[in-house]
């Protein structure tokens, strides 16, 4: 590994400062600290830089886009499965974009080519509805299985293919995919609105791997819950009555240890989300 010098960091920050991303207008979550140079995720001329404390930054949300395919399950009742991914595009703190996170970075500097990483989550989910899924029908999330990955761009960027009515969305890893965290429990509600939007309010647990603890360095121990607010635009939902393809949704992920009563508009949520749900909730969990 090579040393990530202050001069190089300054040059990269100056270049990144001209780029912007669209941050979601969800309520801010708890502050966390990220080390983007962990796990060999940032490279200069193809060589990973050593973990660099000066490169760490604070954030309270991660923003991105998602796609999911929903299928009707056979058998009694109105049950559905969802398969999808979230592709993250940036971090924010107090509604201000963080431009030096090295997320998605692939640029040329006087020192050579600086490459960062991609960040994404894959998920499967089940839910049950009061009647056949349609506008105005509310559904309950019954299970979720999600994984959060980081992907160093230097050894090849992962390939993303969005959902269609005929096929689930896919992420094809290129090079090493670093598993940062997993979750396997969710509580939430979901449905379709009259403008062709799909929404979901749900909370899920999260457990970091060793690599995840190196990436999310503070707090230690890390938060135990993740909330999200995602929504697809009108026209981003297709259905043939059995399958549903959602392809145009964006929003933010936040973290916490406690579920507090913070209302989030239904228009700011995701149907089929993995790292899910800024929701109206009324239970409280103690910090592990």
Report pLDDT digits (tens) over 261-285: 443 433 333 333 333 332 333 333 3
In sequence order, the 6+-apart residues with CB closer than 8 A to the CB of 32 are 58, 59, 60, 216, 218, 219, 222, 223, 255
Asked whether residue 192 carries a pLDDT value surpassing 50, the answer given is yes
Q: Could you tell me which of 72, 59, 3, 73 has the C-alpha nearest to residue 31?
A: 59
Q: CA-CA distances (angstroms) from residue 49 to 9, 54, 99, 113, 234?
A: 11, 12, 19, 12, 43
Three-state DSSP class for 236? coil
Q: What does pTM read for this prediction? A: 0.80
Q: How many residues can be counted in the chain?
A: 288
Three-state DSSP class for 212? helix
DSSP category for residue 54: G
In sequence order, the 6+-apart residues with CB closer than 8 A to the CB of 25 are 95, 268
Report pLDDT digits (tens) over 206-248: 999 999 999 999 999 999 999 877 888 777 788 898 899 988 8
């Amino acid at each position: 590994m090579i040393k990530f010098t202050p001069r190089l960091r300054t040059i990269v920050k100056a270049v990144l400062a001209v780029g912007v991303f669209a941050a979601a207008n969800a309520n801010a979550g708890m502050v966390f600290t990220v080390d983007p140079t962990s796990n060999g995720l940032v490279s200069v001329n193809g060589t990973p830089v050593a973990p660099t404390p000066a490169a760490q930054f604070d954030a309270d949300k991660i923003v991105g886009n998602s796609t999911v395919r929903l299928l009707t399950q056979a058998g009694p009742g109105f049950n559905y499965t969802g398969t999808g991914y979230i592709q993250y595009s940036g971090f924010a703190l107090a509604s201000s974009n963080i431009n030096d996170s090295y997320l998605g970075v692939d640029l040329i500097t006087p020192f050579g080519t600086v490459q960062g990483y991609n960040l994404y989550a894959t998920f499967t989910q089940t839910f049950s509805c009061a009647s056949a899924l349609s506008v105005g029908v509310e559904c309950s999330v019954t299970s979720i299985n999600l994984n959060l990955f980081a992907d160093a761009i230097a050894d090849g960027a992962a390939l993303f293919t969005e959902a269609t009515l005929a096929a689930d969305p896919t992420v094809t890893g290129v090079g090493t995919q670093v598993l940062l965290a997993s979750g396997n429990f969710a509580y939430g509600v979901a449905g379709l609105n009259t403008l062709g939007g799909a929404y979901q309010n749900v909370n899920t647990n999260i457990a970091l791997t060793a690599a995840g603890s190196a990436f999310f360095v503070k707090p230690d121990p890390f938060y135990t819950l993740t909330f999200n607010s995602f929504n697809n635009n009108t026209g981003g939902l297709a259905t043939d009555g059995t399958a549903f393809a959602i392809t145009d949704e964006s929003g933010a992920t936040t973290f916490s240890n406690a579920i507090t009563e913070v209302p989030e508009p239904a228009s700011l949520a995701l149907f089929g989300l993995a790292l899910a749900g800024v929701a109206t909730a009324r239970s409280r969990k103690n910090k592990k």
